Structure 1
Amino acid sequence: MKLPTEKQPKNQSLISQTVLLYGPNKIGKTELCAQIPDTLFLATEAGHNHVEAFVQPIKNWEDFLKACAEIAKMDHSFKVICIDTVTNLLCFCTDHVCAQHGIQHESDMGYGKGYALVRNEFIRALTKLSMLPVGLWMTAHSTEKAIETRTGTRTRIVPNLPEKMGQFILDLADIVALCSVDRNEKGLNQAERVIYTKPSPDYVAGDRSGRLEAKLPMTYAALAKAFEATTPEPQTQA
């Protein structure tokens, strides 16, 4: 192995980012990802009958590992891999580890050993996939979480993922975007679907590139246009 002698340039392509899109069921996350050119869906749930896309059904963890092995050969023209949904994929990983060790639940091994095995297996596979020369986009549903503050309890919209594994996915992603409905300027009947990309006390979001506006129309074209046109201002995720 030779160490690098030059700095790598900044990644200025939206298509090659690692992205987590999350939001309510049936708001259009899959539809948005289907707009990305040269995308392969690793479909861990139903719901792709109404999009024109390349879809590889993933019914268990073994299917996912086999798909990753084929993707890693780079004998294809796909530029983006979309895991739809990453929540179901984590369930498949958990089932796989439990079956390997003859247990019903991670807690059956005691002292956090089962959780650690699932975490290690999931992180290993997803990290390896994220390091391939393709973009990695993931989807998840949203949920509301009660947050205790000094002034009382409030709710925050977060991805529907277990806390520790959810944090790994949030840290892995260059962009975390909430897909939602904008009711601020129009009535409910005229509400438009939008994407929120900046941190907020009300929801989880972030843009490591600093290229995206805080609120954008919920289309890949709008995301790509903003990403390519904006001067980067690095942001944190929260």
Structure 2
Amino acid sequence: MEVISGKIEKAKKVVLYGPEGIGKSSLAAQFPKPIFIDTEGSTTELNVDRLPKPTSWAMLQQQVDWVKQQVGRFQTLVIDTIDWAEMQCAESVCAQHGKKGVEDFGYGNGYVYVKEELGRFLNKLSDVVDVGINVVLTAHSQIVKFEQPDEMGAYDRYQLKLGKKTSSQTAPLVKEWADMVLFINYKTYSVAVDDKGKKHKAQGGVRTIFATHHPAWDAKNRHGLPDEFPLDYANIAHIFANVPNHQTAPVQQSEPVVQQQQEPIQQTQPIVEPTQPVQQQPMQNAPTSTVELNPAIPQSLRDLMIQSNVSEEEIQVVVSRKGYYPMETPINNYDPSFIDGVLVGAWPQVFGMVQEFRKTLPFKNII
């Protein structure tokens, strides 16, 4: 067996969380060569590179797969925020099982499904880290009542805001996945009391990063950071200075999206299996489609079709071959639960069937 000694330099997995408006996104924007996946559309005032706001869980995963291929072009993937991404995850799980909400599963099964799906997503993010791209997850905080088994009484503490009930299962996953969990908040320097000694009012404060676990908040780091320090990227910049890139596969960075008109048959993606996600073609920062889509098609499906350059006719062919709807049925007439649960929820499999259909067409008719 090979023995590996010493410190291993690699990309980092970071969680930044705190109250809204504290500066989480602004701090993440200072990481090396960041690319944002803005799940809640809150980075419009930041001068950063970003991908279109994902309108579905499948679209978010496609974007992560694309970033993984951009070794050298970007050095940090920022998902802003992970708690909004978790909501898309829960919606996807419900749509795939034909449920209106997580509670409809019964016996807490819905929360288990969400936990498992989010766990697979974190594994996908770990793959991004393995090729040398840092991953930063921002999240909001929430104040919850907490009572330790060996203590008397309960007290308030800050935790990741990952769903009211799912947080008991998904928040630990995110914290365990991360190398560094940094809590950002205002540090209050004094509390003023009125002349009657009843009303208390905080005075003074500065935005502070807390890097060590405390009874009042979650935090951790493996880099010897002080317990607390001012909100300034310079205080953690040294951690990301020597992150190597480990490019595991050739990536086309200077060429545009593969032109299907020129090489329609040379598809490199494997036939999709239920447990094997399809590898999407590289997309531009603002994905474009060579086909015009009916504006009445639901936005979550339209965005996936645009990113993969899939026409309405191709979806109709695949759907009709499976016996769901006749070929002439417009997509916007499909049942919404079918669109969300099958076409969007199982998009990798749907796209794989579209690719198989394309291989059967004459060269001149391929879209």
Q: TM-score range by the shorter chain?
A: 0.7 to 0.9
Structural RMSD (CA): 2.4
Aligned length: 222
Query: Match of 1:191, as an amino acid?
Result: G
- Among residues 93, 97, 104, which one is paired with 1:97 in the alignment? 93
Which is higher, the Rg of structure 1 or of structure 2? Answer: 2
Matched with 1:213 is: 226
Report the TM-score when normalising by structure 1: 0.84
Change (3 A) 1:190 1:140: same
More strand by share: 1
Question: Of residues 117, 125, 128 in structure 2, which corresponds to 1:129?
Answer: 125
- 1:231 aligns with none
Q: 1:121 to 1:142 in 2, by over 3 A?
A: same
Q: Within 5 Å, which residues of 2 pair with 1:46-57? A: 46-56=41-51, 57=53
Q: What SS is found at the alignment partner of 1:179?
A: strand
Instruction: Write out per-residue CA displacement over residues 53-83 of structure 1, whole angstroms, 9 at most, x where no aligned residue.
Output: 1111222202111102212323661111111
1:1-238 equivalent positions in 2, closer than 5 A: 5-7=2-4, 10-12=7-9, 16-56=11-51, 57-74=53-70, 77-132=73-128, 133=131, 134-148=133-147, 150-161=151-162, 162-184=167-189, 191-207=205-221, 209-225=222-238
Q: Retained in 1: the 8 A contact 2:147–2:153?
A: yes
CA contact 1:141–1:160 (8 Å) conserved in 2: yes
**SS of the residue 2:236 aligns to:** helix
Distance in 1 between the 2:185 and 2:176 partners? 22
Q: Matches of 1:148 and 1:120 in 2, distance apart?
A: 27
Could you list the runs of 5+ residues in structure 2 that have no partner in the other structure? Answer: 193-201, 242-367
Structure 1: how far apart are the matches of 2:48 and 2:191?
32
Question: SS in structure 2 opposite 1:124?
Answer: helix
Q: Report percent identity of matched pairs.
A: 28
CA, structure 1 residues 226+93, in 2 after alignment: closer, same or farther (shift >3 Å)?
closer
Give how far 1:225 is off. 4.2
Higher alpha-carbon deviation: 175-184 or 82-91: 175-184
Q: Any conservation in 2 of the 1:211–1:226 contact (CA below 8 Å)?
A: no
SS in structure 2 of the partner of residue 130 of structure 1: helix
Q: Matched residue of 1:126: which SS?
A: helix
Question: Aligned partner of 1:35: which letter?
Answer: Q
Moved more, 146-155 or 182-191: 182-191
